[in-house]
Amino acid sequence: MTQIPTLVNVKEAAATIAPYVKRTPVRTLYLDNGIQLWLKCENLQRTGAFKFRGACNAVFALTDEEATQGVATHSSGNHAAALACAAELRGILAHVVMPKTTTEMKKNNVQRYSPSITFCEPTLTAREETLQKVLIDTGAVEIHPYNNPRIIAGQGTAALEFLDEIPDLDILLTPVGGGGLLSGTAIATKETNSTIKVIGTEPTGADDAYRSFRKGKIIPSVNPKTICDGLLTSLGEFTFAAIQHHVDDIVTVSEEAIKSAMKTVREKTGMSIEPSAAVPIAAILEGKVDSLGKKVGIIVSGGNAD
């Protein structure tokens, strides 16, 4: 697959990963302002995040010859754990480059699948340079965290399940970092029901996707400042193209609203979600999305928080 995936590719991904992924539940969240939200709980997915969908699709799409030397990636945690788990299921080795600053919970989540881990400085440049050395040394196949059509198609399967259960949504929100979840969600949603608005949400302190969307070109993330460690990366060419074509808007939220959203979810549902997953709910709390009288769905991206 060398171009932006389509709904056909998302459905193919759904068939590929069906034996391995969980069909996560949809729960309702009633906010104090009277708004009701429908939550697709990918925090309850295998490895604790939606990332397992894309990683599983990418790993099981490899030929036996391609898979011989294993797979490799860089990740702040969720994609690393997802790839390591998918590789273990296929019986191959995963080589993972992780920032030194990754939370202990995410480190432990990755290490349970026994990958080969290399730690690096917490910058995108350091991650990419370290990964290139690993690829040269091992001959492994790179599985990019988001800028990979098979990853995008796999991530889109969460929305496919969501719409199968709740087909009459008015709005569907996801967080956006590198754009794998947002682009996959937008493809699956818009090609299923074009009337549903798909909106990306991002921290104000890491608003490169917001600015890229408005400028019509990729503006790299430089020195982002946010508690959302999963949303620090820049968009890729595949994800940006899909977002430009299918996404209705991207909005930004404050750190205070993100913390408030995490607290709200914990108090009202009993679930602990990671900061990145709280961003779409923060957008509703801050009134960044016109949700009054609308049926709003949110993909809760992950639950791997200390």
Please tell me the least confidently modeled range out of 25-39, 91-105, 188-202: 91-105
Q: Which of 95, 83, 91 is nearest to 58 (CA)?
A: 83
Q: What pLDDT score was predicted for residue 301?
A: 96
**pLDDT tens digit string along 50-97?**
999 999 999 999 999 999 999 999 987 889 999 999 999 999 999 999
Confirm if 277 and 253 have CB atoms less than 8 A apart: no
Q: Where are the domains of the chain?
A: 7-49+155-300, 53-142
pLDDT at 305 over 80: no
**Strand bridging mode 36-41 / 296-300:** parallel
Give yes or no on whether 7-49+155-300 and 53-142 have one common fold.
yes
Distance CA 26, CA 277 (A): 15
pLDDT at 1 over 70: no
Domain boundaries 7-49+155-300, corresponding CATH code: 3.40.50.1100
Distance CA 52, CA 45 (A): 8
Q: CB-based burial of residue 171 (10 Å sphere; 0-12 exposed, 13-18 middle, 19+ buried)?
A: buried
Mean pLDDT to the nearest integer, 230-259:
96
Confirm if 149 and 4 have CB atoms less than 8 A apart: yes
Distance CA 186, CA 242 (A): 8
With a pLDDT cut of 70, the percent of the chain lying above it is: 99
Please tell me the least confidently modeled range out of 122-126, 170-174, 205-209: 122-126
Mean pLDDT to the nearest integer, 177-190:
97
Q: What is the number of other CB atoms lying within 10 angstroms of the CB of residue 62?
A: 18
Which architecture does CATH list for 53-142? 3-Layer(aba) Sandwich (3.40)
Please tell me the total number of residues recorded for the chain in this structure.
306
Mean pLDDT to the nearest integer, 245-265:
97
**pLDDT tens digit string along 113-157?**
877 899 999 887 898 999 999 999 999 999 999 999 999 999 999
Q: What pLDDT score was predicted for residue 275?
A: 96
Q: What is the number of other CB atoms lying within 10 angstroms of the CB of residue 126?
A: 16
Mean pLDDT to the nearest integer, 101-122:
85
Q: Does the predicted model carry a pTM greater than 0.75?
A: yes
